[in-house]
Structure formats: structure tokens, C-alpha cells
Copies of this chain bind each other. A is one copy, B any other.
Amino acid sequence: MIQKLDFYYDVGSPHTYFAWKALQGVSKRTGLDVVMHPVLIGGIFKTTGNQPPWQAFGNVPHKIKYMLLEIERFIKDHNLVDFSFNSAFPVNTLLAMRAAIAAQEAGTHDDIYPAVFKAIWEDDKDISQPDILVQVLNEAGLDGATLIAATQTPEVKQALMDATQACVDRGAFGLPTFFLGDEMYFGKDRVWQIEQALQTA
């Protein structure tokens, strides 16, 4: 039986990029079907009263240092040799996530998020700039101009808000958040636990 994992993502979250990459290995080993759901991380933080870790622990330098150590370990353990930190971090992803919603409508969602993850977390592009985002989408074989135009419609704006609220309603407070059936997991460091849950299921 193929199992399904709901993966809530925002392309601006490095931990979400890491988890997405690592889960590709889990899928290969277990057949796990990872279903990607675009949401806005800023909306989750605002609704739940949470903050990004670099902000929540901005005054706890030892904690930030350890977070970076665990990122290094994760990169090494999963051989994520293409990763490079984005120099525009934190990148405003409102336009990109609306474009992902528009791509869902257009039936091209499976093409958009890998291209934008790569642009931010491998190619150091500032996709908050519309012209850069259009170029990234065009190079991925998508119709960048049409997708960006769609981001300005009330329907797409509302759909991203609704998707984000639905994620919060399931219990999320940050990203990446995963659901295996009704079992929620948070953070890149739960990828091993998800694989373990699949093996004992």
C-alpha cells in the first residue's frame, strides 16, 4: 500500500527545503507519496503567535549556533551538496506562494515548487523581485507572465489565505509541517521519524 504524506511548504523556509530534499530519499526507499501543499509561513506565524527561530532565539546566541550546527549535520547526512544560503534571507515569498497556488489551478504545480526551491536555496536568487521570479518560472518551462498576473486576482489571494488557515486548523505553528494520516510532525528533524513510522506501519 502506497502511503501519503501531506507536506505543507513555503519556499522561503530553509528547513522546509532541507526536509523536501531528504524526503525524496524516503520516497525512493519506501514508495511514500509526498503531496506538496503551498501555504504562507508568515501567515502561520501571525495566526499562531509564533516566530521564526532566528527571531525567537535572536537573543540566545548559543541556541542559534546549535541550530546552524544541526543544519550542517543535516546537509552532510543527506548529501545536500547543492545548498547555499540565500543572501536575501528572509526572502518575501508572498508572490511566489501565490504563483504556486495559481500553478495548482493551471495544473503545473509539480513544476513550479522545485524550480523556486532551487532558485532560492541553490542559485541564490531573490525571487521576491517579480522580474527574477518570472525568469525562474520561464526557465522551468512555465508561463511566468501568466502565473504572475494570476497572483493579483482576488481568487488566488484568497486561496492562499484559505490554504494557510487550513494548515493552521490542522495544528501547524511553523514549517515544514507534515501529516501521515492524522499524525502531525514538525520540522526537518522529523524526517527520520516519518520513515520509522512507515516501516512499523
CB pair A65 B189 closer than 8 Å:
no
Contacts of A189 in B (CB 8 A): 189
Segment of A13-21, A56-64, A99-107 engaged in the interface with chain B: A56-64
CB pair A168 B62 closer than 8 Å:
yes
Contacts of A50 in B (CB 8 A): 57, 60, 62-63
Is A180 an interface residue when CB atoms closer than 8 A count as contact? no
Contacts of A65 in B (CB 8 A): 171
- B-facing residues in A166-196 (Cβ within 8 Å): 168, 171-174, 184, 186, 189, 192-193
CB pair A173 B62 closer than 8 Å:
yes
A59 to B193, CA, bound (A): 27
- A174 → chain B, closest Cβ, in Å? 8
Contacts of A60 in B (CB 8 A): 48-50, 173
A173 to B57, CA, bound (A): 11
Interface residue from B73, B173, B192, B193 paired with A63 (Cβ < 8 Å) = B173
A172 to B65, CA, bound (A): 10
Given contacts A56-B56, A60-B50, contact A66 B171 (CB under 8 A): yes
**A residues adjacent to B (C-beta < 8 A):** 48-50, 56-57, 59-63, 65-66, 69, 73, 168, 171-174, 184, 186, 189, 192-193
